Structure 1
């Protein structure tokens, strides 16, 4: 892949040969290893993104600053033989969201510090999102206020890049996105962003950026975030329907420098992902779908170990995850609904995959390590692979260790995205 792929997305669409890029939005080490290994195997670029809640200058829920995150990814890349220049770092939803319960002034000051930390650490793709109201404000702000706050964040990003002699950032703007992490209820339909609303959003950002002497920065805006009509809830997925987004995608003919960025593409089919790229949504964000695949494989190995490893116990990994989620329910309570049995099922098996917030905790990590150790010197019968991991059983000869089985499960999802974004080089 060309190292300027982010700036080529619009031109390849216009040429009739669109390419795209998968945006891997995860801090899970196995997910990152799978993505970096795939990039190394194909000698291709990989886009790794961190979100404002996950990674920020105060640590985020991972405990990592932007600089920590970059170092974390680089260490895995070195182990996988991927050169650093192949990695594009992106910051997602950078704005006041982590501090939205604070007064606007205080929340924005923290958001500015966060953006400065991202840019100084080498993040090049910057999604500015100041759409959320802070304390005392409406939940949703008007377009001009959003754009003005985004411009404040862009001014900080530009200043840091200049002072550090770094390449100037490329920006993603716009805020009409699915609920981060997926909806918290069953969905029947999702309406794509109207062309009228998208046109207005682009226009007001261009005006505000010009007023703030940020015209050059606006020219480096590669995409706007809109709703193409895709989403996933706790137990269902809304599939992309190209015919419903025709008015929206035709807007790109008026904006030849721009493409759209598609959030919450998790669990879409390969055909749907390819259609998104073809229609002008070449940046495909995926996160929960990758950790869902990881959890699915980890739980399958937990059942396999329960079957064949004396003394391992009856699904201790699943039991450990239930314990940690019940002990600290803030990351799932309020997002899942129903009686106690329904809540239990959602804690472990929901498409929203809010279990992903718990994997980096010490108790969860200890349970995973115990599973891997239990299976490390055990030959898993092919018949049990067929029983519990049919989706990767045909790769069993190449996935000899439990770690490799987990990576193979995640990689199968990444392969679907690669085929959609760059079919000529998919492997």
Structure 2
């Protein structure tokens, strides 16, 4: 049975909780894997873009929302995945990309971004105006956050009505881990205080009503909270179910809502299923998907180095190292330590900041060269055993390296799908 966003709260209340995986990535291979997985399972394919990644000015991907939507639609058509099975979402939509500007200027840009997202067909909208702008505190209180979120919701409502069709579903709340994971070794991450979660809901409900947007508040389906899960550069904090029970009980009196859990990467099926059972019905994953993609690419780089005369000694890894050293802006402030430690983190950190570099022309050329070198090659089983043991089933037959990348990402998606399907 395909689960829709509007069903999540009712299923939890009925004692049969289910979840939906939110794929937070713009990498075409990840998007293809998610859409192909949707065809295979029949599950809803929820794909989300973030405010820094995709916005009306292009974001770091260079894509405006209509570009991202077109990319998803193109791949969905190629994979024969009907678009009525796909939901496009916008994550952390608010002034964050412009928070170094005065508040009014930043919010004006956020309004333009929200309008562009909704006009492009995005219908799951995370309203996040929690961050302070120029001259303001780093984090705003509930009142200021909700007031600005309502202002952005009004734009989304107007654009959606002008377009016709489905009205947006909203996510509120902002108590999330650092985007992309923490920068240091973690020991404990406390769950959101239940009182704070209740206050966030109450303040937003009051502000929406005061603005004449009570019907939009009725379409708020979830609240972002911290269930106590996180990953840093080096380690993962798994879900500690007992510590989150007081938070989970907040939903006992909020029958129309579920929780949205960010940074659930690397948790594994058992903790993810416990999250779903406890009401964290929307599970967001991003860096893990590109981490396993990088893992697969580097394994193939090693195999090609050993198998194909003239290919070279790990040229893909060498190319990525050169690109990251030439443009350190996406990793330098996140990876501390000695040069040797930073060298390892550039390629193998769980926060996977290498994902920002795959769009560089030199990176794409190196990947294309690797794919062309291995396409149709017969890889001996012992070579898979050496560099990628789990993939030895692909040995001794003409290799389709692109399919191998999809297979590796799909293993991660399978874990999420299993967790979302287990229920109570």
User: Into which bin does the TM-score normalised by the smaller protein fall?
Assistant: over 0.9
- The residue number in structure 1 matching 2:163 is 164
Query: Structure 1 length normalisation: TM-score?
Result: 0.97
- The residue number in structure 2 matching 1:379 is 378
Aligned length: 423
Structure 1 CA distance, aligned partners of 2:104 and 2:395?
55
Structure 1 CA distance, aligned partners of 2:366 and 2:299?
14
What are the superposed Cα offsets for residues 162-182 of structure 1, whole Å, 9 maximum, x if unpaired? 111131100000000000100
Structure 2 CA distance, aligned partners of 1:252 and 1:102?
37
Structure 2 CA distance, aligned partners of 1:145 and 1:397?
62
Deviation, 1:397, is 8.5
Structure 2 CA distance, aligned partners of 1:368 and 1:28?
13
- The residue number in structure 2 matching 1:18 is 17
Matches within 5 A, 1:175-214: 175-214=174-213
Aligned pair in 2 of structure 1 residues 397, 189: CA closer, same or farther (>3 Å)? Answer: farther
Aligned pair in 2 of structure 1 residues 33, 350: CA closer, same or farther (>3 Å)? Answer: same
Matches within 5 A, 1:8-407: 8-394=7-393, 400-407=399-406
Contact preservation (8 Å) 1:399, 1:408 = no
Shifted more, 372-381 versus 213-222: the winner is 372-381
1:415 is the counterpart of 2:414: yes
Structure 1 CA distance, aligned partners of 2:204 and 2:398?
48
Say which SS state the counterpart of residue 313 (structure 2) adopts: coil
Deviation, 1:198, is 0.4
Structure 1 CA distance, aligned partners of 2:312 and 2:69?
38
Contact preservation (8 Å) 1:94, 1:126 = yes
Structure 2 CA distance, aligned partners of 1:280 and 1:30?
30
Structure 2 CA distance, aligned partners of 1:121 and 1:303?
41
Aligned pair in 2 of structure 1 residues 399, 216: CA closer, same or farther (>3 Å)? Answer: farther
Structure 1 CA distance, aligned partners of 2:109 and 2:338?
39
Structure 2 CA distance, aligned partners of 1:216 and 1:393?
54
Deviation, 1:384, is 1.6
Structure 2 CA distance, aligned partners of 1:395 and 1:382?
8
| Unmatched 5+ stretches in structure 1 | none
Structure 1 CA distance, aligned partners of 2:404 and 2:154?
45
Structure 2 CA distance, aligned partners of 1:80 and 1:356?
24
| Unmatched 5+ stretches in structure 2 | none
Structure 2 CA distance, aligned partners of 1:248 and 1:303?
46
Contact preservation (8 Å) 1:399, 1:405 = no
Say which SS state the counterpart of residue 227 (structure 2) adopts: coil
Deviation, 1:399, is 9.3
Say which SS state the counterpart of residue 189 (structure 1) adopts: coil
Structure 2 CA distance, aligned partners of 1:176 and 1:105?
23
CA RMSD of aligned residues (A): 1.3
- The residue number in structure 1 matching 2:2 is 2
Structure 1 CA distance, aligned partners of 2:179 and 2:7?
27
Deviation, 1:226, is 0.2
Deviation, 1:14, is 1.2
Structure 2 CA distance, aligned partners of 1:423 and 1:207?
35
Deviation, 1:84, is 1.4
Structure 2 CA distance, aligned partners of 1:413 and 1:100?
34
Aligned pair in 2 of structure 1 residues 395, 35: CA closer, same or farther (>3 Å)? Answer: farther
Contact preservation (8 Å) 1:392, 1:408 = no
